[in-house]
Structure 1
């Protein structure tokens, strides 16, 4: 498909007029008013510095402007990313099927490496949840890691993908990657997107550590999660944190905080999550546990 430039001028004009700004106020000292007038008429396209200056004077972020430009909808790729990030809070087969369907439709139309990575990560996740075939799932995850391993740095998009394939690695390697991810995410501490991603990394690595019976090490990461921010931002993940914390403490003989699993069950019931509440009652270690159906010896044999 050939590239078609998006005419942004009429959208700029509509927003400016709705906000009651003049062309002179928007152009300010960054550009001549005559230049800005040409932008609104789509006679010329703004350079990146000028574009950023314009939307700043419009009191608007790039994401909001793009959302408005697309008639208050996310673009195809943005919507796939939106769905993929939702997996970190509550993975379901329905959500995975939606991601895979929309991702396959997009890559038929055009090449997009990130969407291809998301497709493989989602297919691996689906295999774990639906077929419980760890070896097959790792086959998909390895395709993703082949590219991620070549990158000098990871940004938010790459971190979301790496988080989703953390099960590919042994617990020691997963800890190293999690520590690296946490350092990167610290740079994004004022970015709302980074908060649930940090929580999800910590839960994934504790899953691996617990399956490896490294309960004290898992508790170190679980205590990073046991706070009011997690409770407010990601209540389901907070419930999982409470469950894993009590499981780990019980395993090492620490009975100083009884009742955490019961609190999680009550939370799941309030959130209308009967399946999670049932799993927590019947077998707490299966809640959000990718490896619940696999013996640890098999997991280690397949670890990268």
Structure 2
């Protein structure tokens, strides 16, 4: 059960065996802080930020603790969204039902967008009806494109829809997304999104038989994957690099084999199946 934030802060402070004086040093009076711990008064955000720094916890961790050491329902939906494979029917249905359940209780734009995208993914899996698909995805894109800057949740939404657009549009969206990602530095591993953008574009380029351009995206993704230790994406990149080299009359089989072996070692059976399908579909040898 969720408690008041003052009580949560008090528990964290007590568990760490920190005194009130230590926690509020240079921030506010101990008397005012004591009332906050007793949920008798509120404090400013700047004061709370300084107190959390002294407590050596983040605001996200406090919310997690406050909610009984589990994510809030909204956070759980978002975290599942960013970790779900868009061709996994079971996970998409589960995510869709979670979003519907949440929206029955509370209106929320992010969860509404996630629900719409789940519908789009299911359309893609069931019918591949591009007309309905574009209508569903466009509602999310209209909202995102109205802003001047993509924020954290926007970037993950964007990553899941941008490959529904024409290749030229995808490349422009990628440029805008990369600028926004740079502003976040290493915030919550957001740099990994760069890999996803490059990997998704590489497949579109392969489908268009633009193998040289696809290789450029793949090489960028390989460098980023190694830096971020993103081994699943690295394996996919190796397979696609091999496909491109084969189609360019070079020997890409060692790269294909390298990617397959890595997926096998990681026991990523779903990705292994996907890679096999891509090899059969796109290798022109």
3-state DSSP class of the match of 1:192?
Answer: helix
Q: How many residues align?
A: 281
Match of 2:103 in 1: 107
Instruction: Return 5+ residue gaps in structure 2 as ranges.
Output: none
Residues in 2 aligned to 1:187 and 1:124: alpha-carbon distance in whole angstroms: 29
In the other structure, the counterpart of 1:18 is: 15
Cα offset, 1:101, TM superposition:
0.7
Q: TM-score, normalised by structure 1?
A: 0.85
Q: Does 1:180 align with 2:176?
A: yes
Superposed CA deviations along residues 99-156 of structure 1, whole A, max 9, x for unmatched, are 1111111111111011111111121122213433333322211111121121111111
> 5 Å matches for 1:122-271?
122-227=118-223, 229-230=225-226, 233-255=229-251, 257-271=252-266
Quote the residue 1:41 is aligned against: 38
17-26 vs 139-148, which moves further: 139-148
- Point out which structure has higher relative CO (alpha carbons under 8 A, 6+ apart): 1
Q: Distance in 2 between matches of 1:150 and 1:242?
A: 37
Cα-Cα RMSD: 2.2
Contact 1:266 1:277 in 2 (8 A): no
Q: Deviations over 1:190-241 (max 9, x none)?
A: 2233133221111112122222222211211110111374486432222211
Offset at 1:6?
5.7
Structure number with higher helix proportion: 2
Q: Distance in 2 between matches of 1:181 and 1:142?
A: 17
Give the equivalent residue in structure 1 for 2:84.
87
2:68 to 60, 67, 71: 71
Tell me, in whole angstroms, the C-alpha distance in 2 between the residues paired with 1:154 and 1:193: 16
1:59 aligns with 2:70: no
Q: Does the CA contact (< 8 Å) of 1:120 and 1:144 recur in 2? A: yes
Task: Give unpaired runs (5+ residues) of structure 1.
Answer: 288-304
Paired with 2:274 and 2:40, the residues of 1 have a C-alpha distance of 61
Q: In 1, Cα distance between the equivalents of 2:281 and 2:77? A: 28
How has the CA–CA distance of structure 1 residues 285 and 190 changed in structure 2, closer, same or farther, with 3 Å as cutoff?
Answer: farther
Q: Secondary structure at the match of 1:151?
A: coil
Q: Decide which of 72, 95, 98 is 2:94's aligned counterpart.
A: 98
Rate the CA distance shift 1:160–1:281 in 2: closer, same or farther, 3 A.
closer
Does structure 1 residue 272 correspond to structure 2 residue 274?
no
Alpha-carbon distance between aligned partners in 1 of 2:280 and 2:140, rounded to the nearest angstrom: 28
